[in-house]
Each structure stands twice: as C-alpha cells, then as structure tokens.
C-alpha cells in the first residue's frame, strides 16, 4: 500500500477542510506534531554541541546532583507519558491495519511524541547535572504547546460524542492530564529557583554528601532511571574486572545512611516511649524510625506481585480469538478500549513491559528492605554496652557470650526479618489472586490443585522447623569436633612423642561420625524441602487437569492450560517462602524479647546513689563558696567518681565515710568503709584473696552500687596540673585491644616519644618488643600475636603509667610477673616514674615485701577495712597483724632466692615467643621467595591475562570437590537431573499436544452421525491423553525426589572424604609443619572451610544445576517451537556472558570486603564488653563509640555495595529474560505456530526470567565457596611424615630397649632440608641407668637433641644407637611408643584421668593407681567424683600447673620405658612440685636412664653427670 500521511482511501475526504480546519482529524493530528518537532529542533543542537561543560557554574565531582524541585515526580510522569505513548502507537498501528491505505497520522504523532518525551528527559538530566536551569524554559514552552494541541484534539473528540468506550479518547485524555502535570512541575521549578521572571535567582549549594569526595555510594542521589537500573554501579563493576575493589574505592556512606544518623533516629523513637508504668517497645521504635521505608518496600512488593499475574493473563489472551467491529469517525477507524488487548502483538509488548516493571519493582523492594535492615544494626546495643552496670556482668545476669550473641545473632535475625517482612502481607494477596484467576480459567477443578498446594504448605513448614533443629544439633557436634581438633593441634608434639596421634585422631573421627549422621539428617530434610518445592506444582497440575478432563465438559484449551501452569508456579513460590518467613518471624520475636531485656537492664548511672542527700550541684556550690577552687577541679567529681567517694586535689584526695557497696544483691559486698587516700602519695591496699580489695577500687571508680554512706571532702587550694583528667586504671585481669603494642599503651593519648620510652623501660617491655616481628607496631590482642599473661599485664600497666592523670589505680599488677620484673616495675615504674611526678597511686597487691615503700596502707578483711595507716602505725597499734605480715614476707623472700638461682618465668616467656617467630620467619622466608616468583610471573603477564585469571571459574576445584563425592554419586546426580528435566519438558509437550488436539477434524465429523455421538468421541479423544500424562507426572515427582537426594548426599560424601583426608594429612604431618604454620590457619581449615564444604556448597550446587538446566531446557523448547528465536539468541547470549563475567569478579571482591570488615566490628563489640571498667575509668566511651560507628559504617558500606551489585545483576538478567519472552512471543506470533506449542514456548520463556539471575548468583557463590575447597586441598598436598622404617617391627624385641644404653655418633640434625643444621657432629655415650643432664644457653640445640631421640627431626648425618639398634631404621611409631618424655609445658586433654594416663587402655587400674601414688596424686584423684574416670576439663584447667606436671610424670611412669627424657620439665613449676619430681626421679626411676635438659646448671639433684 502507498504511504500517505492522511491516507488515500477511495472516496475519502481526508484533505478536505470545508467544515473547518479543526474539523479535519488529519489536520488535528498534524497539529500535534508541532510541539514535538519544536522540542527536537531546540534541544538537539544544545545536547550535541557540548554546552554543558562551559556553562556549569558549580563544580561537583558527581554528575548526579539532584537540585531541581519535583525531580522524582517529573521522572514518574515522563515514564508514564512514555508508556501512554507506546499504547497510542500500538492503537494507531492496529487501527491502521483496518484501513484501505496507510494513514501515518494515526501513529506518526505518537511516535514523535515518544521520541520527544525521551529527548526531554535526557535534556532535563543534562541541565540538572550542569546546574543551568535557564535552559528549562524550552521544556516549559514544550509542555504548554503539547498541552494545548492535545486539548484541541480532546475537545474535537468530545464534539463528535466520542467517550471512554473509545481507546483513542482515553489515551488523549491521559496525555492532557500528563502534559498539564508536567507543566505544573515546570512552573514549580520557576517558582522555587526563580531562574526566570524574577530579579534575584535562588542560589543553591551542592548537598554536603556530594561535596565530600569520599562518598561513593550514590543510590540516594542519582536519577530515578539510574536508581531503578543501578546504572551508577557500572564503573565500579566494570572497573573491578581490571583492578580489585578495595575499601578506598567504595568510600564512605552518605550522612543519612551512616550509623550515627540511624542510631539517633532509633534512639529518639525509643526514648519517646519512656514511661514509668510501661517499658518501651522495640517494634514501635522500629516503626517510628523506619516505618516509611518498610511501607515503601511493601508498596513496591504489592505492585511487583500484581504485575506478576500479567504473564499468565497475556498467555491466555494471546490465543483467544477476537472479532473486529467497524467504527469509522473522521474517516478513520476508532478502536474500542477492550479491542487493543485482544491483539496478540500488543499483548506481547504489554507482557514485555509488565515483566520489566515487575522485576524493577521487585528489585526496588529488595533494596529498600535491605537498606532498612542494615540501618537497624548495632549502634543502639553498643551505646547500651558502654553504660551497662558492672553488677550485671559480675552477678552473671549478662555474660560476654550473651552480649556477643546479641550483636552477631539477634540483630541479624531482626535484620533478616525486615528483609522478609514485606512477604508477610504480600503473600496472602498473591495467593488469593492466584486462586481467583485459576478459578476464572478452569472452574471448580482449579480448586483441587489449589487445595493440594495449601494442604502441603504445613508439611513444608514442618520440614523447615526440622531443618532448623537439625542445624542446631549439627552445630553442637561441630563445636565438639572443633574442640577436640584444637586440643590435638595444641598437644600435637606430645601426641607424636608418645605415638598417640592415631588414637586421638580416632576420637575426632568418632565425633565427626556423629556430626555426619546429623549432616545426613540435615541433607535428608533439605532434600525433602527441595523435593516438595519441585513436586507440589506437578501434583497440583496433575490433579487439576485430570479432574478437568473428567468433570468439565468443556475441552481444555492451550491458552487456559499454559496460563494455569504459569499460575501454579506463581502460587507455589509464596507458599514455599511462607515457612521461611514464619520461622524468621518467630526468631525475630525471640530476638526482640532478648534485646528489650538487654536495653532495660541496669545502667551504671541508674543506682540509688543518685538520690543521696547531697546532690552534685549543691556539693559543687558548697565547694566553690567555701574553698574558691578552680572550676576545673570540680567536674572531676561529678563525672568520674561515685558521689559517695569524693575526689579532690589536696592533702586528702579521696575520702569515704560509712560506705556500703554491693554488686547488685541485697547483701553488701563492702560494708562500713571509712578510708582516706592522701594526695601525691603511694597507698597500698592489702588483704587475703577475696577480701574485697578489687571491689574497693571499683567502688571508688563508681562501678559498684551504693547502699548507703556519705562523703566528706577535704580540700586544698593548691590547684592541679591542667592537662590531667580521668583515672588511669590497670585491671587485675589484663585487657588488650586488637591493635598494635604502641596503640595499646598510648590508648588514644598524644604520642610523646620520651615519655613512651620511659614507660617501656619502666615496665621492662623492650626485650619483648624486640622479639616481635614488627616491634611495637605488631598487632596484638585476640586477632594478633598471642602474648603470655605477664607480657599482657605489663602492657596494661604501661598504659596506666603513660596516661597523664592525677590518679593511678593498679589492681594487683604483679600477679603474673616473676620477682625480677615485679621489683623492676616497683622501683622504676611506681616509686620512680609515678612518685617523682607527684601522682596519687592506689596499689592493690599481695607482695607484702613492698609495704615498706607505702605512704599509706589499707588492710582489708571480709569486705571491710581491718586497719588503715602507715606501716609504723600498724606496727605500733596492731602487733599481731604486723607479725603475720612479717612471716609472709620471709616466705616470699625464700621464693625470691629460688627464682634468682633458676631461670625466670620472663625468660621462658621470651624464649617461647622467640621460638614461635624463629619457626615462622623460616616459613615467611620460603613464602616470600614464592611470592617473588609469582610477582615476576605476574609482571610478565599483561593486563588482559591477569583479568582473565580473576574472571576464570575454578573448574579444577569443582572437579576436585565432585571427585571427593565419588563418581557413582556424580553419575547419579547428572543422569537424574537430565532425566528429570527431560521428563518435565515431556510433560509440558504432552500437555501442548493434548490441548491442541482438534476434535473438529473433517474425517471425524464425516463419521459421526449425531451430536451425542460426536460429544462422546470428542471426550474420549480428549481423555486418551490422561494416562500418559499421569505416568509422566508420576515419573517427574519420583525424579524430583531422586535428584534432590543425590545432590545433598553427594555433598555429604564429599564433606566426609575431604575432612577425613585433611585430618589424616594434618595429624601425620612432620612436627616442622606445626612450627611454621600458624595454629589459627590450620583451625580455619577445620572450622570455617569445613563448614562451607559441609553446609553451603551442596545447596548452591543444587540451585546452580537446577537453574542452569531450567534455562537451557526453556531456551531449547523455545528454539524448537520457533527456530527463528535462535537468531535473536546470539546477541542475548553475548550480553548474558559479559554481565555474568563482570558481576562474578565484582561480587567476589565485595563479598571479601564484607567478610573482612565484619570481623573487626564483632571483635570491637567483644573487646568493649570485656574492658568496660577500663574504658569507663579512662573516660574513653566517646572514642570507643566513634570507633564502633566507623567500623559499622565501613561494614555497612561493603554490604550495601554488595547488595547493590546483586540488584545490578538481577535487574539486567531480568530485563534479558523479558527480552527473551518478547522475542519468543513475537517470533511465535509471526511464524503462526501451533497454538499449544506457542503456549508451551511462552510458559518456558517466563521461567527464564525467574532463573536467569540465579544462574549467575549461584555461579558467583560457588566460586567464592570453592575457595574453601582450594584451601583444604592446599593442605592435602602436605608431605606426610615417613612412618615406614628400613627395619621391620617383628625384628625389634618386644622388651626393647631393655637396658637404656644410648650412643650418639657424629650426629648432625636439621629441621628442614632448606635450613641450616641445628646440631653438628655431636658425640656422646650414656650408660644404662645413668642420670645425665644436658645444659646450654637458649637456642644451643638442647630441645633439638631431645627431638632427635624420637626421630622427629631430619638426621642427615651420624646416628643414635639405643641398645644396639639405630633408631633411624625403626618405624617412628615403634620407636616413640618405647620411650617416655616429660615436656616443659604440661599437656592434659579433656576427657578422663584414665584417658590422659593410658589412652591405649592397655594398663590395669592397679598400675594407674600406682603411678598416681608415685606422683603423689592418689589422694587428689580419690577425692574426685569418679576416681580414675573423673573429668578433666579442656587443657586440664581444673588442676593447678603443678598438679598437671605431676600427671605428666605419672603418664611417663605408666609407660615403664627404660629411658626417660625430661625437657625443661621443672621450668614452670613451683618449689613443692619440683621437690616431688626430684624424689620420684631418684626412687621410681632409679633403674632407668634419665636424660634431663635444662638451661641452668641447677640440676645436680637430678643428674650424676652433666
């Protein structure tokens, strides 16, 4: 047909204007073109010449600055305008098909309007980001012209009595409204910004966030289109492919999203509810603070769910027949409002738009809920921790574990509930709508299918509950296994020396078996859950269609069948989610209850002393009037100390009268306290253990609750040092930050090099610092280097000394120090450093020999003050007490003599530290060399090679994981998965064939003779498809069960094999491996990595294979139905490849950032709760709170970027899915395929939309999780110790060694082939039964020689001959099982005493009791419940160090070996235990060869020769 703007139909008067220009419809349409052409003519030159860079007046770093009023409204209106224009174009094109010739005026103005609307939004965006509002005048004129021209068109339609029944009238009316609203928006911009028609235009500044170059999270600032599609994330995600994402790259959060802002919002909402009669509700606080966001998310969710039903309805509509009705006005066809929706092409486009909108709204809902959940975390709890009453902790009402759980678990439960809560009210609507539409399509038979789904929903909930319970039991077994593994790794040296490694390995395997049983149950329930989710829609479809075939007289059409199929899939999703949401709702209720109890617990300032007779303000007034003291003295009173404990600078600094203090119970812990502490002097508090010394210090710090008493201040007018504030306090239990040594000592104070060095020297820390790998910049604390108790305590004392305060409280600072260090600290630290500075020191101590240095002494007994005064006063007035002290002092002096002769505890601590770093340095040296080689290789590679390496999927590790599961399980999984999806496709294909079967076939009609016979034949033909359909559905349900079971049990098999192999490799690794590999690294393989392999990889693998096969089968079916689809598939596949490639790399980086920023946050909570008293004493609450806010913001930034990246992916894959649906629909319509197959193709196309993003998400998750397999696999390549010897076990006499003769001949030993020898050409001869001592300085090779006796080091030259046999030829297990050793550090394992003495269970009870009697432990063990079966806690903590060493002695005796090695066995025990040890060695081991290794020569009592 010829093209003509007004058409050239026969007999038409399209170009006639006899009745008036405006009465010609074509002219009116042409008039509507004018505004659009005007806008394009004005804006295109401005857009393409590049005016923006020259005319921008405000320089900003982001082109996302929103500063014109009505921004969001404008975008919404323009999006609506574009949609209406699409409808107008569709209406015009469909109407044009009813005409004789082409009438361009029916759709050309609409097309130009669409282009103009698109141009207007691009133009507006550029003007806005350039902040040049004057150019908006062009848009203002455009909206006016468009409004006028559309108004004329509407007026003319009304004149000829066109109404809402005509679609074109409705569209024109809508356009008039939209243009009018956009005109109003433009007028509002002029009114607010005054950029035209006003003398003084409004000047605006950029938002504060966008002036900060560090803010990179732009979601709140970008335009609506970028918000919906996460376009602003493109640079980050694409850039990640070239360079890893770092914390610096993701920057900071905007102010409105920071932890402090949200904390204040939540706090204000909580505080507003404060009522004496009723406690505040967290739910109400959450609603008041974040209710708007929750409602917005719910609105998005409702819209997404309602648009979700567009798919089934469009499928139904595409194949419904329709009839056109002639309706000619103005010489052109006018379509009715319903007629457009009967056009298949229009429905295909509408389906595409509905899918795009649905997925956009769904992703927006997810994002808003995640952002709200993130905003809720952390801050409120932390603020409460800082004010938590110490009595809550000390009385056991609140433990550190509970506080950590509140942070790590309860707040996360609440956050996850917020993520899922929109489902609570969206799901009922979805279910009701689904059932109504099914009933509309299928009638009563639909209720059968819906009933099956609803009836099976409680079963899903039951399975979900069982899953949660099983997970808890699995966690318990996992904790027990990890505890036993940790014990083995800590005591691996002893286990190897005693040849017990296999025995203890079996103990772990036993626990692992229990864990695996629980894991199998977990896998079974998970399989059932997956099975139910897959099988329920099949069962529902089967029941519905079979019922319909036999009950309904109407034949099932393809339109109804496949629309119903899509509806059943929609209906199953909310019911599957319901169980999860309900479970999280229950957990959230419990969490809120716990949080409420925590937030309402006692606070440090809420005690009864607030109501004392003398208030702070009146006290402050009296002080000022009476003494005229500087105001700086007085805030110290009100802020730091309990009002009953008054502090001042003068002759008497602190005084308490009649003080009664408690830890929370009604009984007073401290009673009748009357003390005074003089200023600038050393006050010592002494007394027996448990008499209340530490409590008195804490009472003075205001940490205890006051029952009664009053303060009586004594003041002096001399003033004090201006820079001094708060109290420096060193707690009895040392508390360190996860920070460097320097940061722990300075503790937020300005760094003063001279002062810092003086403090380090006073606390004797320099030798310890020199041993650390990075000196005082080495990180210590929970996540850092493990220091000994003494080293930790000295750092805490150094912190108190370094602070520039008037008062220093030291709570038993000598408890973990040896006598040398104690003396040095007393002389240099307290008497010299503090006293010379005239600081007031309050010292709690048990070291009575230091009383001679005290200016003032407070003696305590049973919670009250026994005596107070100088030492001379007490000597005069309480002779009995003084004599008691004198006796104790003499005893302590004897201990001093002993320690002087022996190697000190400090030397041993330093030696341990040195050994740890010596072995680690060698490891680091090897690692550094490897890294250098890698760097060189990387330098050779170009950027593209590095990029491809980062984006490469770890197929090798996937194969390693699958091979661990067993080839049979892999074969079963693959074959069952393929079979299942093939059967699923067969079901749908059979349904298509069934519904497409045509009973109106001519041959059939010729045969029928009556209507009844025809109906019977039709129903028979219709029902003949049912048996095959039932068989296929039954097979699909069975295969669903098989596939879900095979995947989960493949995971269990892989987890079993990987852990078994890992444990055996580690246990049988040479001792050198444990020296060079940090314990934490090994434990991570058994904890975090094993957990990922056990519980996370199987569901990810199942989801990935299911999603991939669904997508592939869908694309295969569509291509089969409409082969033309394959042409469009090529560009779609290319787009999908690049989307997943970029996303996986960025997702991995952001996931790593989220994990790495979460640990410091949890550690900060933990360390704050542990060090509350210290933080409050130093008055550093604000600093710690600020640090917590920073850590929270950092973690939130990483998490929000990860969430935005997930949304970025899902939006793009969803849009790709929508394009696939559109392509499938259009190709099906144009190729006029069989209707049943077209329905099949479209149904499958809709599934692609749901599963395409899961393919990429699961692929990214699997890639991250495979890192755990890689780490485990790296340990599996560890070389095992050689357990084979050249001499057979049968050749070794059973009683060897009989005599205990040792010959060392030219022995050379090294720890590794790459390291230097530690022993060179050693020769010695030890006669049977001889007691020999081996001495030498630290590092001289003594311990290496002891290891050589057990063949645990590399003897590369020479030999050791014991009773005529070269030990290097023996199998190590045989050799080690025939010798005995006692190590320096006593090692006991959790279990029973019997297990610790004889884990092989080869000895009788009499033998064990004899050993205990020799070790002088018989009475101790007899007193325990169970005797030999009495419980030994982890590490033997329920016994003293001395008792533990005696158990080790008993263990050595039980073995009855003729050779005993003692490796510094007396180094860490007291004098009494050492005496017992000496006695046993000289009597019980009189006939055995004893080799004693020690540093000093103080071993003559043990040895005959040295």
For 1480-1506, the pLDDT digits (tens) are 777 777 778 888 876 554 444 445 555
Give the per-residue pLDDT at 907: 60
Three-state SS string across 1283-1310, please? CCCCCCHHHCCCCCCCCCCEEEEEEEEE
- How far is CA 1410 from its chain centroid? 53
Give the per-residue pLDDT at 667: 65
Number of Cβ within 10 Å of residue 777's Cβ equals: 12
Give the per-residue pLDDT at 632: 33
What is the value of pTM for the model shown?
0.78
Give the per-residue pLDDT at 1095: 84
Give the per-residue pLDDT at 191: 86
Sign of CA dihedral 160, 162, 167, 168: positive
For tokens 């010292």, the residue is: 843
More confident site: 618 or 1048: 1048
What percentage of the chain has pLDDT greater than the value 70? 79
Give the residue ranges of DSSP H helices in 160-281: 167-193, 208-211, 224-229, 234-240, 247-250, 259-271
- For 466, the token pair is 């069982």
The confidence band for 1338, taking pLDDT boundaries of 50, 70 and 90, is low
pLDDT at 51 over 60: no
pLDDT at 349 over 50: yes
- Select from 1346, 1495, 1506 the least CA-distant residue to 910: 1495
3 state DSSP class of 172: helix
For 128-175, the pLDDT digits (tens) are 877 778 888 889 999 999 999 989 888 888 887 777 778 888 888 999
pLDDT at 986 over 80: yes
For 905-946, the pLDDT digits (tens) are 556 555 555 545 544 444 444 344 333 333 333 433 343 344
Are 811 and 697 in contact, with CB atoms under 8 Å apart? Answer: yes
Are 973 and 527 in contact, with CB atoms under 8 Å apart? Answer: no
The confidence band for 1425, taking pLDDT boundaries of 50, 70 and 90, is confident
Instruction: Give the separation between CA 869 and CA 883, rounded to whole angstroms.
Output: 16
Instruction: Give the separation between CA 1412 and CA 1050, rounded to whole angstroms.
Output: 49
- Select from 252, 379, 592, 590 the least CA-distant residue to 1165: 379
Contacts with 9 (C-beta within 8 Å, 6 or more apart), sequence order:
99, 100, 101, 331
State which of 555-564, 571-580, 887-896 shows the largest mean pLDDT.
555-564
For 309-341, the pLDDT digits (tens) are 888 888 777 766 444 444 556 556 676 767 777
pLDDT at 1221 over 70: yes
More confident site: 19 or 526: 526
Are 1411 and 1450 in contact, with CB atoms under 8 Å apart? Answer: yes
Q: What is the mean pLDDT of residues 444-450?
A: 84
Give the per-residue pLDDT at 117: 93
3 state DSSP class of 1433: coil
DSSP state of 817: S
For 671-682, the pLDDT digits (tens) are 778 888 888 888
For 67-104, the pLDDT digits (tens) are 788 888 999 999 999 999 988 888 888 877 777 677 78
Q: Of 129-133, 329-333, 868-872, 873-877, which gets the smallest average pLDDT?
A: 329-333
Phi-psi region of 469 (alpha: psi -120 to 50; beta: other; left: phi over 0): alpha
- Select from 1212, 1193, 1204 the least CA-distant residue to 220: 1204
Give the per-residue pLDDT at 1067: 87
Are 687 and 864 in contact, with CB atoms under 8 Å apart? Answer: no
The confidence band for 1236, taking pLDDT boundaries of 50, 70 and 90, is low
Q: What is the mean pLDDT of residues 1397-1412?
A: 84
- For 1296, the token pair is 């060897």
Rg for the chain (alpha carbons), in Å?
41
Q: Of 130-134, 680-684, 1329-1333, 1356-1360, which gets the smallest average pLDDT?
A: 130-134
Contacts with 834 (C-beta within 8 Å, 6 or more apart), sequence order:
682, 801, 808, 841
What percentage of the chain has pLDDT greater than the value 90? 5
For tokens 């929103």, the residue is: 66
For 206-255, the pLDDT digits (tens) are 677 777 777 888 888 888 888 899 998 998 998 888 888 888 888 888 88
- The CA-based angle 809-812-816, given to 5 degrees, is 135
- For 570, the token pair is 């929609």
The confidence band for 21, taking pLDDT boundaries of 50, 70 and 90, is low
For 1126-1174, the pLDDT digits (tens) are 888 889 889 988 988 888 889 888 988 888 888 788 778 778 877 888 8
Q: What is the mean pLDDT of residues 1445-1460?
A: 82
Give the per-residue pLDDT at 64: 56
Q: What is the mean pLDDT of residues 815-844?
A: 83
Burial tier of 757 (Cβ tally within 10 Å: 0-12, 13-18, 19+): exposed
Give the per-residue pLDDT at 885: 79
pLDDT at 414 over 60: yes
- Select from 27, 328, 330, 37 the least CA-distant residue to 152: 27
- Select from 892, 895, 913, 916 the least CA-distant residue to 904: 895
Largest separation between any pair of C-alpha atoms in the chain: 137
pLDDT at 58 over 60: no
Give the per-residue pLDDT at 470: 84
Per the prediction, the chain carries an average pLDDT of 77
Give strand pairing partners of 1492.
Answer: 1333, 1462
Give the per-residue pLDDT at 144: 93
Q: What is the mean pLDDT of residues 1206-1226?
A: 89
Q: What is the mean pLDDT of residues 784-810?
A: 82
State which of 569-578, 1285-1294, 1419-1428 shows the largest mean pLDDT.
1419-1428
Instruction: Give the separation between CA 1376 and CA 98, rounded to whole angstroms.
Output: 99
Q: What is the mean pLDDT of residues 574-594?
A: 75
pLDDT at 1342 over 50: yes
More confident site: 1202 or 600: 1202
Contacts with 1490 (C-beta within 8 Å, 6 or more apart), sequence order:
1330, 1331, 1332, 1459, 1460, 1462, 1481, 1502, 1503
The confidence band for 455, taking pLDDT boundaries of 50, 70 and 90, is confident
């Amino acid at each position: 047909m010829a093209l003509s703007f007004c058409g050239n139909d026969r007999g038409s008067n399209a170009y006639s204007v006899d009745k008036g220009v405006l009465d010609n419809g074509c002219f009116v349409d042409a008039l509507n073109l004018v505004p659009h052409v005007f806008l394009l003519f004005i804006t295109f030159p401005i857009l393409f010449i590049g005016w923006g860079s020259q005319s921008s007046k405000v320089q900003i770093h982001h082109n996302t600055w929103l500063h014109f009023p009505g921004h969001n409204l404008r975008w919404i209106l323009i999006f609506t305008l574009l949609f209406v224009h699409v409808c107008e174009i569709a209406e015009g094109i469909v109407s044009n098909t009813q005409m004789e010739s082409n009438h361009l005026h029916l759709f050309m103005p609409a097309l130009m309007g669409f282009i103009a609307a698109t141009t207007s939004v691009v133009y507006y965006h550029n003007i806005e980001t350039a902040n040049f509002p004057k150019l908006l005048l062009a848009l203002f004129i455009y909206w006016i012209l468009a409004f006028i021209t559309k108004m004329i068109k509407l007026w003319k339609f009304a004149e000829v009595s066109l109404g809402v029944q005509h679609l074109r009238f409705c569209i024109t009316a809508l356009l008039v409204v939209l243009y009018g609203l956009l005109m109003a928006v433009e007028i509002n911009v002029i009114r607010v910004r005054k950029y035209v028609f006003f003398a003084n235009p409004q000047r605006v500044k950029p938002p504060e966030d966008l002036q900060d170059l560090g803010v990179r999270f732009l979601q709140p600032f970008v335009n609506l289109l970028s918000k919906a599609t996460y376009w602003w994330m493109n640079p980050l995600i694409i850039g990640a492919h070239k360079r890893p994402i770092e914390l610096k790259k993701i920057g900071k959060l905007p102010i409105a999203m920071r932890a402090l802002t949200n904390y204040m919002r939540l706090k204000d909402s909580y505080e507003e509810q404060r009522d004496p009669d009723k406690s505040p509700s967290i739910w109400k606080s959450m609603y008041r603070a974040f209710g708007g966001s929750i409602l917005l998310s719910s609105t998005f969710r409702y819209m997404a769910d309602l648009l979700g039903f567009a798919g089934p309805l469009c499928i139904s509509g595409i194949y419904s027949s329709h009839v056109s009705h002639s309706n000619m006005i103005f010489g052109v066809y006018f379509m009715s409002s319903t007629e457009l929706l009967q056009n298949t092409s229009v429905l295909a486009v509408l389906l595409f738009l509905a899918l795009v909108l649905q997925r956009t709204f769904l992703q927006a809902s997810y994002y808003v809920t995640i952002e709200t959940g993130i905003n809720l975390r952390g801050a409120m709890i932390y603020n409460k921790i800082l004010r938590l009453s110490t009595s809550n902790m000390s009385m056991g009402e609140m433990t550190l574990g509970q506080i950590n759980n509140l942070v790590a678990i309860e707040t996360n439960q609440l956050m996850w509930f917020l993520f899922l809560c929109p489902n609570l009210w969206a799901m009922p609507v979805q279910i009701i709508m689904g059932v109504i539409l099914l009933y509309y399509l299928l009638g009563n038979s639909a209720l059968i299918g819906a009933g099956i789904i609803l009836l099976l929903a409680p079963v899903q909930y039951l399975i979900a509950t069982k899953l949660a319970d099983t997970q808890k039991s699995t966690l318990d077994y996992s904790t027990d296994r990890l505890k036993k593994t940790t014990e083995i790794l800590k005591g691996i040296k002893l286990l190897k020396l005693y040849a017990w490694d296999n025995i203890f390995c079996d103990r772990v395997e036993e626990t692992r078996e229990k864990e695996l049983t629980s894991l199998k149950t977990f896998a079974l329930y998970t399989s059932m859950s997956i099975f139910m989710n897959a099988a329920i829609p099949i069962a529902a479809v089967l029941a519905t269609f079979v019922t319909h075939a036999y009950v309904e007289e109407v034949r099932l059409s393809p339109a109804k069948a496949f629309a119903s199929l899509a509806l059943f899939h929609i209906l199953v999703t909310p019911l599957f989610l319901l169980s999860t949401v309900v479970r999280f709702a229950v957990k959230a209720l419990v969490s809120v209850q716990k949080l409420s109890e925590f937030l309402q617990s006692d606070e440090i300032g809420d005690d009864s002393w607030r109501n004392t007779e003398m208030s702070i303000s009146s006290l402050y007034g009296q002080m000022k009037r009476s003494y005229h003291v500087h105001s700086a003295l007085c805030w110290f009173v009100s802020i730091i100390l309990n009002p009953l404990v008054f502090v001042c600078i003068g002759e008497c600094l602190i005084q308490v009268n009649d003080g009664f203090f408690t830890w929370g119970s009604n009984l007073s812990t401290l009673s009748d306290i009357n003390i005074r502490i003089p200023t600038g002097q050393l006050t010592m508090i002494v007394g027996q253990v448990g008499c209340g010394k530490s409590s008195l210090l804490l009472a003075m710090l205001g940490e205890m609750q006051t029952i009664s008493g009053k303060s009586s201040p004594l003041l002096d007018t001399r003033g004090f040092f201006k820079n001094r504030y708060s109290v420096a306090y060193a707690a009895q239990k040392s508390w360190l930050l996860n920070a460097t040594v320097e940061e722990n000592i300075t503790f937020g104070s300005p760094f003063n090099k001279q002062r810092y060095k003086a403090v380090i020297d006073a606390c004797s820390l320099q030798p310890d610092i020199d041993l650390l790998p990075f000196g005082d910049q080495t990180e210590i604390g929970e996540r850092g280097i493990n220091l000994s108790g003494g080293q930790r305590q000295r750092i805490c004392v150094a912190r108190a000394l370094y602070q520039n305060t008037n008062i220093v409280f030291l709570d038993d600072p000598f408890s973990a120090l040896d006598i040398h260090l104690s003396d040095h600290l007393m002389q240099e630290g307290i008497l010299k450093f503090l006293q010379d500075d005239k600081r007031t020191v309050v010292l709690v101590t048990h070291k009575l020999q230091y009383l001679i240095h005290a200016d003032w002494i407070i003696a305590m007994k049973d919670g009250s003050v026994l005596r107070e005064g100088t030492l001379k006063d007490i000597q005069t007035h309480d002779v009995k007490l003084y004599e008691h002290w004198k006796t104790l002092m003499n005893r302590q002096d004897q201990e001093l003599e002993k320690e002087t002769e022996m190697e000190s505890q400090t030397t041993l601590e330093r030696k341990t530290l040195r050994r740890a770093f010596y072995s680690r340095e060698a490891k680091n040296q090897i690692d550094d060399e490897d890294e250098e080689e890698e760097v060189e290789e990387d330098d050779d590679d170009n950027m593209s090679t590095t990029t491809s390496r980062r984006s490469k999927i770890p197929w090798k590790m996937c194969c390693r994981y699958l091979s661990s599961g067993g080839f049979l399980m892999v074969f079963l999984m693959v074959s069952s998965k393929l079979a299942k999806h093939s059967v699923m496709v067969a079901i749908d294909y059979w349904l298509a064939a069934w519904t497409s079967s045509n009973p109106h076939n001519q041959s059939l009609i010729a045969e029928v003779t009556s209507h009844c016979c025809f109906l019977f034949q039709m129903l028979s033909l219709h029902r003949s498809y049912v048996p095959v359909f039932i068989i296929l559905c039954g097979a699909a349900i069975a295969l669903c069960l098989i596939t879900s079971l095979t995947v989960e049990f493949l995971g269990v098999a892989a987890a079993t094999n990987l852990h078994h192999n890992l444990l055996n490799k580690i246990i049988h690794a040479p001792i050198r491996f444990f020296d060079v590999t940090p314990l934490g690294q090994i434990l991570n393989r058994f904890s975090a990595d094993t957990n990922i392999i056990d519980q996370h990889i199987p569901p990810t693998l199942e989801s990935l294979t299911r999603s991939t096969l669904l997508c592939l089968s869908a694309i295969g079916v569509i291509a089969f139905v409409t082969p033309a689809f394959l042409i469009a598939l090529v560009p779609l596949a290319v787009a999908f490849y690049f989307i997943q490639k970029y996303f996986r790399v960025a997702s991995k980086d952001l996931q790593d950032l989220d994990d790495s920023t979460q640990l410091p946050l949890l550690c900060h909570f933990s360390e704050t709760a542990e060090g509350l008293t210290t933080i409050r004493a130093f008055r550093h609450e604000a600093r710690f709170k600020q640090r917590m806010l920073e850590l929270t913001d950092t973690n939130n930034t990483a998490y929000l970027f990860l969430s935005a990246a997930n949304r970025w992916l899902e939006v793009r894959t969803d849009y790709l899915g929508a394009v696939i649906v559109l392509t499938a629909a259009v190709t099906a319509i144009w190729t006029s395929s069989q209707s049943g197959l077209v329905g099949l193709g479209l149904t499958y196309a809709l599934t692609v939309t749901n599963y395409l993003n899961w393919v990429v998400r699961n692929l990214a998750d699997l890639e991250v999780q495979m890192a755990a397999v890689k780490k485990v696999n790296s340990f599996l390549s560890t070389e095992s110790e050689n357990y084979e010897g050249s001499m057979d076990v049968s050749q070794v006499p059973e009683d060897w060694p009989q005599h205990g003769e040792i010959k060392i001949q030219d022995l050379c030993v090294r720890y590794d082939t790459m390291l230097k020898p530690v022993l060179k050409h050693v020769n010695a001869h030890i006669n049977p039964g001889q007691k020999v001592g081996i001495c030498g300085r630290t590092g001289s090779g003594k311990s290496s020689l002891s290891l050589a006796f057990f063949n645990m080091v590399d003897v590369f030259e020479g030999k050791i001959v014991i009773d005529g046999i070269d030990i290097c030829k023996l199998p190590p297990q045989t050799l080690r099982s025939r010798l005995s050793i006692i190590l320096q550090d006593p090692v006991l394992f959790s279990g029973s005493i019997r297990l610790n003495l004889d884990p092989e269970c080869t000895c009788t009870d009499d033998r064990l009791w004899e050993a205990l009697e020799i070790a002088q432990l018989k009475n101790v063990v007899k007193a325990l419940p169970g005797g030999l079966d009495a419980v030994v806690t982890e590490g033997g903590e329920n016994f003293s160090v001395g008792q533990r060493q005696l158990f080790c002695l008993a263990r050595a005796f039980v073995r009855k070996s003729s050779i005993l090695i003692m490796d510094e066995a007396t180094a860490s025990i007291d004098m009494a235990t050492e005496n017992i040890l000496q006695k046993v060695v000289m009597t019980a081991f009189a006939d055995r060869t004893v080799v004693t290794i020690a540093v000093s020569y103080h071993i003559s009592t043990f040895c005959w020769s040295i």
